[in-house]
Amino acid sequence: MAQAFGEESSLSSSAEIEALRSIINSLGDGVIVADREGKFLFFNRVAQSILGIGSTQVSSEKWSEVYGCYRPDRVTIFPSQELPLARALAGETVGETEIFIRNAERPAGVWIIAKASPLWDGAGALRGGVVVISDITKRKETEERIQTLTNAVEQTADSIVITDRNGLIQYVNPAFEQTTGFTRDDSLGRTPAILKSGVHDAAFYQELWSTILSGKVFRATIANRKKCGEIYFAEQTITPIRDSAGNITQFVTVVKDVTEQRKLQEHETQMQLARAVQQQFYTIAPPQIHGFDIAGAAFPAAETGGDYFDFVPLPKGCIGISIGDVCGHGIGSALLMVELRAHLRAFSRKSLNVGEILTLVNSALVSDFEKGRYATLAFCRLHPPSRTIIYASAGHVPGYILDANGAVRHVLDSTDIPLGLFAERPFTSGEEIMLKPGEILALLTDGITEAEKPDRTQFGVGRALEFIRDHRQESAQQIVNGLYRTVRDFSDGLPQTDDIAAIICKSLALHSPEKQGKSVTGTDLTGLEEAS
C-alpha cells in the first residue's frame, strides 16, 4: 500500500505486500482504503460482500448515491461528505457510525458499523484514509425484535410479572403498577406474595408451585389484594422459562383483571334469579269470578322490573285487585316489589279495610326502603255478589271506570302519598263504587301513559282510554296485551325505558257469552290461595 502512495516500500519484497493483501482479505471485517483524492486503493472481499458492490472509481461526492448509504431512519440519504471515510480523508478519526445500506444488490438492506482513520506518511502528511465496516444486520434485527417485544409488554393492558426461579420479582410492566398500586420500586426484589389476599389457602399455593416447578403452565382465577387493600380478581397464567440447557430460570406471569367481568356475571345471575321469582308472580292465573272477566300483565323494561300487579284473596269472599310501581327499575326495584307483594298479601288476611291494609304495608316498608325510595299502589277490594269496589291509592296514577259505551264514568284519583316515605302514616280508602254490567275497571302504570315517540310526544291517558273503549268487546286479556303492543308501536322503535303494567276488570252482563269463570255461584280462588 505504501507503493500506492508513491513511497519507497519498507517491505523487503513484493511477496510481503501480497501477504499483507492476503491478510486483509482474510479479515472478518470489510476494509477499504482510499487516497486523499478519494480513489479506492484497496477494497477487500468482505467489504464487497457486505455492500454488494465492490470498488468503483467514482468521485467521493457520489459514494452515498452509488452504494446506497442511508441514515439510521432508513429514509434519509447519508451525505457523502459526512461518511466516515470522507471525514477520514479530511484528517478526522471517526468512531463507530451506524449506516443503513440499500442498493440494487442489497434491496432488503443491510446494517453496518463503520469506523475510519486518516493515513499519514512518514513526514506527517495526509496521504489517504481507511474505513473498517462490520455487518450488524442480525444484531439490529434482534434489537428491533427485542424492542418490539418490550413495547408490547410495556403497553399491554394486562399485567406482566417476571420472577427468577425463587420467585423474586425482576420486572413488572406499567399495567401492573396501575392495577395493583405497587410501583416497580415497591415490587423489584420482592415476591408476588405482596398481592396475597388471604382468600386462598396454603394448599392452593402449594399446587401452584408444584405445577410451575415441574415445568407446566399454571392457570387459575386468583383473588389478589391491591396496595390500598382492595381485593380484585385476576385470571393468571404462569409460564416457566427455560435456558438453552433446559433448566427453568424464570417465570412469566400474565395477569388479566376480571373483577368487573365477575361483577357483571354475578349481577346477571342475580337478575336471572329475580326475574325467575317475578315470572312466578306474573304467570299466576287471574281469579275466576262469576260475572267478571279479569286479566293483568306486567312488562319489565329490563330483565326485572318494579311494576307490580296482583290478585289477592280477602276475607268473606272478596278479591283484592292491586297494581303498583316501585320507583326505578332493575334488580333493586324488583326486590322491593317482592317485599311489597309479601307484606300486602300478609296484611290482607287480617282486614277488609283497604286503608288499614295500606297503613300496615307502609309501616313495614319504611324501615326497609332506602332514602328516596318509594312505591305507589292502587288497591281495590272487589265484592263480587254486590259488584262493588272500594279502593285506596297511595300516590298511584289514576284508575278509570268506563261505562258500557266506553265513556269515563269515574276517575280513581290518588287518596294519599306513596308508600315507604313516612312511618305511622294513616291511609284512608275512597268511596264504594258499583261496577254495572258492561263497565270496565282499568288500572295502569305510568309506563303506559308516559311512553314517548322519537319526537317526545307521550302516549298519554287519552290514547290508553281510547284503545280500551275501541276494544271493549274483546276479552280482558286481549285488551291488556293489545294495549301493550299499541304502546310499543307508538314508541316507533325507541327502547322501552320504563316498566309497563295494566289490569282490566270487565263487569259482564249475566247473559254475556264471555268467559265468566269456573264457579257458577261465587268466586274460585284456586291458585290465589296457593300463590299467597
Beta carbons of 506 and 293 less than 8 angstroms apart: yes
Only one residue has cell 438492506, namely 109
Question: Which residue pairs from 367-373 have beta carbons closer than 8 angstroms and sit at least 24 positions apart in sequence?
Answer: 367/423, 368/336, 368/339, 368/420, 369/336, 369/420, 372/327, 373/326, 373/327, 373/328, 373/336, 373/420
> Which pLDDT score is estimated for 6?
41
Q: Does one domain contain both 290 and 435?
A: yes
Which residue, 257, 275, 309, sits at the end of a domain? Answer: 257
The helix (H) or strand (E) run that includes residue 419 is none
**Same domain, residue pair 122 and 161:** no
Buried b (16+ CB within 10 A) or exposed e, 118-137: bbeeeeeeebbbbbbbbbbb
Residue that terminates a domain, selected from 141, 171, 189: 141
Residue 305's φ and ψ, nearest 5 degrees, are -145, 170
Terminal CA-to-CA distance of the chain, rounded, Å? Answer: 113
CB atoms within 10 A of CB 355: 20
Residue where a domain stops, chosen among 112, 141, 170:
141
Residues 173 and 134 in one domain: no
DSSP 484-530: HHHHHHHTTTPPP-S-EEEEEEEE--TT--S---S-SSSEE-TTHHH
> Beta strands of 74-179 (E only): which ranges?
94-101, 110-120, 126-135, 159-164, 169-172
Report the distance separating Cα 31 and Cα 21, nearest Å: 11
- pLDDT at position 279: 63
- 132 shares its domain with 176: no
CA 400 to chain centroid, in Å, comes to: 46
Q: What is the SS3 string spanning 52-78?
A: CCCCCCCCHHHHHHHHCEECCCCCCEC
| 370 in the same domain as 313 | yes
Q: Are 137 and 167 in a shared domain?
A: no
- Examine residue 371 and state whether it is found in any structural domain, yes or no: yes
Cβ atoms within 10 Å, residue 219: 13
What is the spatial distance between Cα 136 and Cα 72, in angstroms, rounded to a whole number?
Answer: 12
Ranges of residues in the chain whose predicted pLDDT is under 50: 1-12, 515-527, 529-532
Q: Are residues 202 and 136 in the same domain?
A: no
Q: Is residue 265 part of a domain?
A: no
Q: Which amino acid is at 215?
A: G
**Do residue 313 and residue 459 come from a single domain?**
yes
Asked whether residue 328 falls in the same domain as residue 454, the answer is: yes
CA separation for the pair 463, 453 (Å, rounded) = 13
Contacting residues for 173 by C-beta, under 8 A, at least 6 apart: 153, 154, 156, 159, 160
- Determine, yes or no, domain membership for 329: yes
Residue 271: per-residue pLDDT: 66
φ, ψ for residue 48 (rounded to 5)?
-65, -40
Q: Which one-letter DSSP state was computed for residue 166?
A: T
Q: How many domains does the chain have?
A: 3
Residue 237: give the domain boundaries.
Answer: 156-257
Q: Is residue 151 part of a domain?
A: no
In a domain, residue 148? The reply is no
Residues 257-266: contacts with CB under 8 Å, at least 24 apart: 257/158, 257/159, 257/179, 257/232, 257/233, 258/221, 258/233, 258/234, 259/232, 259/233, 259/234, 262/233
Contact at 8 Å (CB) between 462 and 449? Answer: no
- Helix residue spans in 89-201 (DSSP H): 137-155, 174-180, 184-187
Both 301 and 349 in one domain: the answer is yes
Q: Are 530 and 294 in contact (CB under 8 A)?
A: no
Q: Residues 32, 57: contact at Cβ < 8 Å? A: no
What number of CA atoms fall less than 13 Å from residue 320's CA on the CB side? 32
CATH of the domain at 388: 3.60.40.10
Give pLDDT, residue 507: 96
487, 393: one domain: yes
> What is the per-residue pLDDT for 9?
41
Check whether residue 40 and residue 105 sit in a common domain.
yes
* Residues in contact with 495: Cβ distance below 8 Å, sequence separation at least 6, in sequence order: 301
Say which CATH number the domain at 191 has. Answer: 3.30.450.20
Question: What is the tens place of the pLDDT at every residue in 425-440?
Answer: 999 998 899 999 999 9
Phi-psi region of 395 (alpha: psi -120 to 50; beta: other; left: phi over 0): left
CA angle 32, 140, 171 (to 5 degrees): 145
Res 523: pLDDT: 46
